[in-house]
Chains A and B, each alone.
Chain A
C-alpha cells in the first residue's frame, strides 16, 4: 500500500515539475525570440518528412493523370486554348484601361499604381496543428523570398511569409487566429479589418458599425493600409451579417476568395516597392 502512495506522489511531483517547466517555456517564448533557432532547426529536420508525407497525394495526382482518357485530355486542351485566347483578349483591353487609368491618376495628381510581379511556388507541407494555420512552400532565400512577403493563389490573398530558409519558407495564412488584414468593400470603399479564427474557410470582419453600408455578397479586397499587402487583391465575400442589440459592432462572416486548404500552386508577390527597397539596400 505504501508503495502505491510513494508511486503516486513521485508521479505527481514529476507532473508538477513538467507543468512548471512548460509554463516557463511558454512565458519565455512569448517574451523573447530565443526559440527561433530551435524552430528553424526543427523546420530543417522535418523537411524530408514533408516529402514522405506528400507521397500519397503525389501518387493520387499521378494515378488521376494516368487514367484520364485521351479524349478528355484533348477536350481539356481545347478548352484551355479557348480560355487562353479569351484572357489574352481581355488582357489587351486591360492594358488599354490601365494606361487610361494612369493618365487619369496623373491628371488628378495621384500616385501611380504599383506594378507587381510574381513567382510560382508549390506547397510542400501544411501545419499539423489545426489551430495554427501555416504552410511550407518550396522557395527560400535563394529565390529572393523575404519575411512579410504576400502570398496568393489563383483566387485571392492567402497569407504572408513569416520564416525564410535557404530552400523553403513558412507562410502564415490569413485564416490564422493571430492574423489581421486591412480590407475594404469593393462596392463603396468601406474599410475594416479581416481576422482569422479556428476555421480554414472563414474570416471575421472587425469594427464595422451597425449603421455601415455593408450587405451579404459584398466583395472585399485588400486596402493596402498597413503597408504589408498591396491594395486591390481579392480577400473574400461577405457571407453573413449578424446585428446583436446592444453590441457596438456587427458580427460579419467572410468566405475567403483563396482556396486556403486546397490550393497547391501559389504565387509569391513582388511589388515594385519591394524591388526599389532592395535596390536601395
Chain B
C-alpha cells in the first residue's frame, strides 16, 4: 500500500517537473532553466534508494527525450549516469543535511554536464557550456524546494 502511494507521488511530481520544464521563458532564462525532471529524479533516488535506481532514471530520461524532442537516448544516458553516481552514495546520502545534499547534487550535475558538453563539442555541436555555472546555481536554488516537496510526498511511518 505504501509503495502504491509512493508510485502515485512519483508520477505526480514527475508531471509537475514536466510542466515546470515546459514553462515558456525568454532571453537567457531559457538556457539557464534548471533540468527539473533530472532534479526530481535525483531527489526521489536520494529519498527512496531501495525502490528507485538506474532503470527508473533511464526510463524517465527516455520519456524526457520524447517529450522534449531531443535525440532518444541522450537524456537517458545523462539521467542514468546521475542515478548511478547517486546510487553509490545513496546509503548515507539520506542522512546528509540539506546544504550537504545540495552540494552533492550540484557536484553530480556538474560532472555529468561537463561530460555531456565534451561529447557535444567532440561532434562539433553547440554545447551551451558557457551557461553551465548559472544553470548549476539556479539548480542549487531550486533543489531545496524540490527536495522538500519529495520529502513531504513520502508516506509517513508509524
Contacts and interface: CB of A to CB of B under 8 A. Distances in A.
Given A22-B58, A46-B22, A198 B73 contact: no
B76 A130 contact: no
Interface residues of B, number: 43
Interface stretch (B24-32, B94-102, B104-112, B150-158): B24-32
Nearest to A135: B24
Nearest to A170: B69
A148 interface: no
Nearest to A201: B27
Given A8-B88, A198-B126, A130 B31 contact: yes
Contacts of A197: 126
Contacts, number: 125
Interface stretch (A25-33, A183-191, A267-275): A25-33
A26 B19 contact: no
Contacts of A54: 23-24
A15 B54 contact: yes
A107 interface: no
Interface in B12-36: 15, 18-27, 30-31, 33
A56 interface: yes
B84 interface: yes
A127 interface: yes
A18 B22 contact: no
Nearest to A261: B26
A108 to B, nearest CB: 44
Nearest to B31: A130
B69 A129 contact: yes
Interface string A24-64: 11100110000100110110011001101110110000000
A134 B22 CA distance: 12
A18 B26 contact: no
Contacts of A130: 30-31, 33, 128, 131
A38 B62 CA distance: 11
Interface in B128-143: 128, 131
B76 A49 contact: no
Contact of B22 (A11, A22, A125): A125
Interface string B107-129: 00000000000001000011110
Interface centre among A26, A30, A41, A262 (most CB of B within 10 A): A26
A11 B77 contact: no
A125 B131 CA distance: 22
A278 B72 CA distance: 34
Contacts of A129: 68-70
A24 B58 CA distance: 14
A22 B73 contact: yes
B53 A42 contact: no
B19 A22 contact: no
Interface string A243-265: 00000000000000000011000
Interface string B26-67: 110011010000000000000000000111001001110011
Contact of B24 (A22, A123, A177): A123
A11 B49 CA distance: 12
A114 interface: no
Given A22-B61, A25-B73, 8 more contacts: A15-B81, A15-B84, A21-B76, A49-B22, A129-B68, A130-B31, A200-B30, A261-B27
Interface of B: 15, 18-27, 30-31, 33, 53-55, 58, 61-63, 66-74, 76-77, 80-81, 84, 87-88, 120, 125-128, 131
Q: Considering the complex of A and B, which 8 residue pairs feature the smallest CB-CB distances, nearest first? A: A198-B126, A22-B73, A25-B73, A128-B21, A42-B66, A53-B22, A26-B73, A130-B31
Interface of A: 8, 11-12, 14-15, 18-19, 21-26, 29-30, 35, 38-39, 41-42, 45-46, 49-50, 52-54, 56-57, 123, 125-132, 134, 170, 177, 197-198, 200, 261-262
